[in-house]
Amino acid sequence: MAKTTFISWNVNGIRAVEKKNALKWIDESDIDFLGLQEIKAEANQIPDSIFEKHYKFQSINSSSRKGQSGVALFTNIKGTASGGDHIDILNEGRINEYHFGSYVLFNVYFPNGQRSEERLAYKLAFYERFLDYINEVRTEGKSIIICGDVNTAHKEIDLARPKSNENTSGFLPVERAWMDKLLDNGYIDTFRYIHGDEPDRYSWWSYRTKARERNVGWRIDYFFVSDDIKEKIVDADILDHIMGSDHCPVKLVLDI
């Protein structure tokens, strides 16, 4: 067994982040799996200069809507990649599915429901398809690791202004109920597993009103694992000192 480090980050445009040199810290970091969301680029549009580190295996899933969504996964651990089209039925480039050994990693950019009632309905249906599928994969004897931007804060502790956002998509009761369901189905919120009820820890801040400077944020970026590997969780954290996006990276270390 060895410590395996996973990083997840919604970069809100990989080309924009590259112009800020905001991925260079990866070259000085020991990262086994790097999952990026909302890359907003085709594979051939990702600059070679994002970082110097070479990863042998890359999985890029771009949206059919150019300049939107998209996910990317980088690793040196050999496995088999796919894109999750059975869940992401609108082909918005929202999933990397990566099988390695007895593990399956899902790097996911879950839909945002704030634009319209139709998008909220799509988000909720996506949630259900995703949970059904990962439960199906578990029946094959696989252990599940999920990372990404879930676009929902689970509990009141997970956002700075819970009362004023009770009717906002991202903190609606129906969205939070799905996260309850995810945990009830045998998945663990690794940050809370390690840090308990530590307050004021967020992973996204609006660009408006200097929200990050004031730490008026939301915790909407997560690592979940299936409970069969609970004892393998070494560390989980929010890397809120890393700048470059309106999100910050989140981290998971497993002894696998």
247 annotated as belonging to a binding site for a ligand: yes
227 annotated as belonging to a binding site for a ligand: no
Please count the residues of the chain: 256
Instruction: State yes or no: is 247 an active-site residue.
Output: yes
Tally of domains within the chain = 1
Residue 219 phi, psi (nearest 5): -100, 100
Q: Which one of 122, 202, 221, 247 is the catalytic residue?
A: 247
β-sheet with 95-100: strand ranges across: 80-82, 95-100, 103-109, 143-149, 221-226, 187-189
Grouping H, G, I as helix, E, B as strand and the rest as coil, residue 90 is: coil
pLDDT by residue for the chain (256 residues), tens digit each? 699 999 999 999 999 999 999 999 999 999 999 999 999 999 999 988 899 999 999 999 999 988 899 999 999 999 999 998 899 999 999 999 999 999 999 999 999 998 899 999 999 999 999 999 999 999 999 999 999 999 999 999 999 999 999 999 999 999 999 999 999 999 999 999 999 999 999 999 999 889 999 999 999 999 999 999 999 999 999 999 999 999 999 999 999 9
156 annotated as belonging to a binding site for a ligand: no
Instruction: State yes or no: is 149 an active-site residue.
Output: yes
- Cα–Cα distance measured from residue 204 to residue 202, given in angstroms and rounded to the nearest whole number: 6
Selection from 130, 133, 81, 95 nearest residue 8 by Cα = 95
38 annotated as belonging to a binding site for a ligand: yes
Q: Which one of 149, 158, 189, 240 is the catalytic residue?
A: 149
Domain enclosing residue 88, as ranges: 3-255
pLDDT at residue 115, as a whole number: 85
The predicted model scores a pTM of 0.97
What CATH number does the domain containing 99 carry? Answer: 3.60.10.10
